[in-house]
Amino acid sequence: MDRVRHHERVVAVSVSTALVMTGQGMAGPVLPVFAREFGVSLAAVGATVAAFGLARLLLNVPLGSLADRRGRRILLVGGPLVFAIGMTGAGLAGGIVSLTAWRFVSGAGSAMYMTGALVYLTDVSTPANRGRLIGVNQGALLFGQAIGPGLGGLIADAVGIRAPFFVIGAAGLLASIHAYFRLEETRPKNSRQHFEHGAETRPRWREIIGSRTFLSIALVNFVIFFTRAGSKNTLMPLEGVTVLGLSVGEIGLVLTGIALINLALLSPAANFSDRHGRTRAIVPSLFGVAAALTVISLAGDVTWFLVGAGILAVFTAISGPAPAAFAADNAPEVSRGVSLGMFRTAGDVGLLVGPPLLGWIADAGGYGIAFATNAGLVAVAAVVFHLIKRESIVGRVEQ
């Protein structure tokens, strides 16, 4: 019965993740078009889109601290509810300022839920199965991201440009209700006692920030998101269309293919990281991503571009949930929320920095230089992580 209950927890949190991520995905193709209807510049549209990520960047760590002090349920239940309020408000927005504000609110809700979910999965897992459990949740995340954009576009075409926001709001409300009834509190007993007795937390902050191991895995998460947002989602579509003559639809198929390969290899990658260790998944995958970006940087035709995209798909899948599992393995029990919030923040910084920085490099030196720069950054992250991986935030050595 304990094993059944254990799997039920993972399924329950993954259902909520799928609902939240489907909602986020539905907004993808609709939001820029909706914002443009207010007659504003493309820069203003970009600011509206970025408000979501800005909220996550600013709130990951404070919300992690809240999870440590008040428990996980406040984030797991409250996050989807705040997300639903933000999306519903966006659907009712009468101008670009209010739309941007509501977009920030929905980003705050997303940060609440995703931080809470990662801490929750850390609580209910062990180092022996953590990769697989986080992998199940990542599978739900990828599923939501895959079906969301298509659903959002269909609903907008059939009912109107504002309609998807209300559907997203309903999905968020449903996720909140589901979490309220299915996800119980999992904050460890000693963490609860630690804060009830008024323990000083500043040494923990210093311990985490000063840990070379934490900084190395944070760097890994930074380059993963930097590459995803900068090279895969920004430069590859632009080079494919403007240089190689691919259509937007063909580029869409390439990106869909990468996502499908990631999803197909997620379970084997998670099993590998649990059986053979996180570092054996992380380090080779980073070098593989660097190789893929190098191939793309040298590609002079569509064939080599597709070869590079295929290599990128395989090696981004190999790391799978290993970085998050490594961060969770080494997070101090009494401050898991803060540790994992900081880990997520490193990824969000990469998400925000990658596209403009690589875009600027591509403008100055061409696509090849930009992809090569990204490849070099990934390779450096792999070397740094490999050299200091055996230090632990809490004095443990990874098994």
pLDDT tens-digit series, residues 319-356: 888 998 898 888 877 778 888 888 888 988 988 888 88
3-state secondary structure of 203: helix
302 contacts 244 by C-beta, under 8 angstroms: yes
* Nearest in space to 371 (alpha carbons), one of 207, 231, 255, 218: 231
**Ranked by mean pLDDT, which of 16-25, 28-37, 244-253 comes out on top?**
16-25
What is the H or E stretch that residue 24 is in?
A: helix 2-27
pLDDT digits 0-9 by tens, 257-285: 888 888 888 889 888 888 888 888 999 99
Q: How far apart are CA 288 and CA 270, in angstroms?
A: 17
Distance CA 354, CA 366 (A): 16
Token look-up 């460890």 returns 188
CATH 1.20.1250.20 fits 2-187, yes or no: yes
Residues 6+ apart with CB under 8 A from 156: 29, 30, 33, 163, 164
- Asked if residues 375 and 286 have their Cβ atoms less than 8 Å apart, the reply is no
Which letter does DSSP use for residue 333 in this model? G
* The token pair that represents 234 in the structure block: 């920004």
Q: Which of 377, 227, 237 is nearest to 305 (CA)?
A: 237
DSSP state of 229: I
Q: How far is CA 61 from CA 55, 67, 114, 344, 351, in A?
A: 11, 10, 12, 8, 16
**Nearest CA among 213, 321, 197 for reference residue 270:** 321
Per residue in 363-374, pLDDT tens?
888 899 999 999
- Give the domain ranges of the chain: 2-187, 205-388
Taking the C-alpha atoms of residue 386 and residue 172, their distance in angstroms, rounded to an integer, is 40
375, with CB counted inside 10 A (0-12, 13-18, 19+), is buried
pLDDT digits 0-9 by tens, 146-188? 787 778 888 888 888 899 899 989 989 998 998 899 888 888 7
Please say whether the beta carbons of 344 and 115 come within 8 A. yes
Residue 383 binned pLDDT confidence (cut-offs 50, 70, 90): very high
The two structure tokens encoding residue 292: 């893929």
The rounded distance, in Å, linking the Cα atoms of 336 and 143 is: 27
- 205-388 and 2-187 share a CATH fold: yes
How far CA 250 is from CA of 91, 242, 302, 326, in Å, comes to: 31, 13, 11, 36
pLDDT at residue 137 in the model: 86
Provide the token pair at 159: 């009912």
| Lowest-pLDDT range of 66-70, 332-336, 379-383 | 332-336
Looking at the structure, give the CATH architecture of the domain made up of residues 205-388. Up-down Bundle (1.20)
pLDDT (0 to 100) of residue 2 = 52
Contacts of 180 (CB under 8 A, 6+ apart): 73, 77
Q: Please give the average per-residue pLDDT across 234-240, as a whole number.
A: 83
What number is the average pLDDT over the span 223-230? 89
- Could you tell me the two tokens for 268? 């084997």
Is the four-CA dihedral 67, 71, 73, 74 of positive or negative sign?
Answer: negative
Q: Are 118 and 324 a contacting pair, CB within 8 Å?
A: yes
